[in-house]
Structure 1
């Protein structure tokens, strides 16, 4: 997918010499841009390159998260408006409009709490030794 970003500097400044245009993993792609116009161009370019390879963008699954902007303009693709969201999960990390890690840390703590509570009956059991309980905990990881 580097074809669509090879023209111009449309990413975010990552280091003094490098721009980060996107983050891709398997069939997921996260675009990064400083402006609405750059993001719109990326969306259209990716759709065009994908279509030329026989691939389609799943518009209902495609989300837009705007960080630190007053721009309320919508991103469109083939005449359809892409959904604006306050947060989404990418590679099992929560990303939100606040830009920090608070939402992700909270989500991970909640998952750990839920997993721990699933073992409540085991932890409270008087029939199992502490060693067995600890071994069961490590096997669940």
Structure 2
């Protein structure tokens, strides 16, 4: 199952083994990888060949001479990705779509019109999110959320001694160690980051005082999908308080809110028409 879940057409890692080679005969691949995966699970140690990645720079909009205008993707071993997929299949719930959250947000806006109430939405953006996560906090959160200690050990060991080489003009630089964050390009990274974000939101909104009244008994404080966050409040003052709390808890996990890219959207119902105003934090 895990071998078939790996997508074709992806660049191979440092070992130059493409996904297509592994999927050409799944039974043979499984018989070859199973003893290795079993040994990793028993000993908690990953292959040393898996700790290296090749870092590829993908340009974004803006001045190409500035580092912040590039997005980095790490090319990792495809057999490693198969093993990570095995771990994910054991830990992760069935996939959900971001359309679930979009639909919920639309319902909230429509309810604001119906109830003639103001609505503030803070679309929060983290600066260098994946690269900034504090790993010591991450290991604690894995245990906090009930991930078996054996799996925590495997994940942690896969980050020990982590190193990258940058692909520049077709050549590789010398290797350097990566001591913070989760790996761009790793199947496990979105799941790990999601645990951190979930803990941040649960901790910063634990008092349940500044959210939207969703049901008679419950408030809705935020809508999240991966690193896309939408904080919800009725008033400007409540939103300021909530944002400050989220920023403080985020900082304890190594994350910082990008003030330039974080936007607040204000909805105000007037005469059954929804008025919207957008501004920066």
User: Given the two structures, how large is their TM-score scaled by the length of structure 2?
Assistant: 0.25
Question: Could you say which structure has the greater relative contact order, defined with CA pairs below 8 angstroms and 6 or more residues apart?
Answer: 2
User: Given the two structures, how large is their TM-score scaled by the length of structure 1?
Assistant: 0.48
